[in-house]
Structure 1
């Protein structure tokens, strides 16, 4: 099994990259986000690889971080999600954005990915709810609060503050991050008005 490739970029296609490793070119399928973040032809590249071996095919899927690869596999544990849909989700959302969407039960954010219908989006945010914290990466700091919001059990001032900020045009994720930061400054017993005020300061930075 191939776990990682280190080489140079030989060619970049619509959904793949050819990686030249000492004269042998490997075709690696990647999300559009990964393809957009890699360098140009001739530049060095390191990709974390997930190898698929089937009776009729041998495919390599590439990621810039081990965390992206972990999410790729985790997404496919959901019924109806294969490699193509998993890549589409990772083309639309970063790992931290995906962890936040699952914690907030934000199926709308997940359904923005190509090929992800409402039913699949609901399954993703529902079935991965308890697994997401372990794969949250940089989003892990506020994941507990976001899960409370997603499950509707957050304290009233917190829920009201997030709702107010969302009504002002911020995404639920942005609002939740701002209120989480506001809680640290204003204190756990702050009322919604104070959380909104401090949250807006966070959002204006």
Structure 2
């Protein structure tokens, strides 16, 4: 299992790079985001890798950081999302943008990636929404647990209700979610829906 490569960047293409490690060139498929960070041929580079082996093919996928690699692993758990589609998503959306888009159930953002249509985008949103909730709502997640260790439901519910209210006022869901998430960070995990709506509207008006 090859988990990391360090060497000299030999060359790059639209979705690949060749990394020279002690005279051996490794072909690594990568997102546009990772390729931009590698720099120019001849540069010393280091990438985390994921190796896939099948009956007729062995492939290496490279990532500039662990966050992108972890998202690649998560995306490819969704039925219909192979390595190429996952890299396409990571080419148009950063890990933070993916987290926000999925938590906000923003299908349009996902459809920007080649190979992702409305049906696949809906499946990604449905299958990953619970897995990214803790990352999307850092303030709510930091609230003290209730007896028995379960996460408090109140703050998350208030966020959802506030987002829905702003959407009903005509704002895009992705914008509403971003504004309310910032409000949670400013006001704290115990803020109620009304306070979040007011703060969200203030954020959206700027």
TM-score, normalised to structure 2's length?
A: 0.78
- Residues in 2 aligned to 1:74 and 1:86: alpha-carbon distance in whole angstroms: 9
- Say whether 1:179 aligns with 2:183: yes
Contact 1:158 1:179 in 2 (8 A): no
Provide the residue aligned with 1:25 in structure 2.
Answer: 25
Q: Give SS of 2:171's match.
A: helix
Confirm or deny: 8 A CA contact 2:161 2:193 kept in the other structure.
no
| Structure-1-length-normalised TM-score | 0.79
Is 1:166 equivalent to 2:171 in the alignment? Answer: yes
**Root-mean-square deviation (CA), in Å?**
3.2
- CA drift of 1:86 comes to 0.8
**Per the alignment, do residues 72 and 159 of structure 1 end up closer, same or farther by CA in structure 2, a change over 3 Å counting?**
same
Higher mean alpha-carbon deviation, 185-194 vs 45-54, is at: 185-194
The answer to whether the Cα contact below 8 Å between 1:17 and 1:35 also exists between their aligned partners in 2 is yes
State the alpha-carbon separation in 2 of the partners of residues 185 and 118 from structure 1.
Answer: 33
Distance 2:104 2:82 in 1: 23
Tell me how far 1:7 sits from its aligned partner. Answer: 0.9
Compute the displacement of 1:20 (Å): 0.9
Q: 1:143 to 1:34 in 2, by over 3 A?
A: farther
Q: Distance in 2 between matches of 1:14 and 1:155?
A: 39
The within-5 A match list for 1:94-133 is 94-133=94-133
SS at match of 2:130: coil
The 1-side partners of 2:107 and 2:140 are apart by 16
Shift of residue 185, structure 1, vs aligned partner: 11
Q: Name stretches of at least 5 consecutive residues in structure 2 with no aligned partner.
A: 142-152
Tell me if the contact between 1:10 and 1:17 (Cα under 8 Å) persists in the aligned partners.
yes
Counterpart of 2:84 in structure 1 is: 84
Quote the Cα distance in structure 1 between the aligned partners of 2:88 and 2:116: 8
Distance 1:152 1:188 in 2: 9
Contact 1:51/1:59, CA 8 A, preserved across alignment: yes
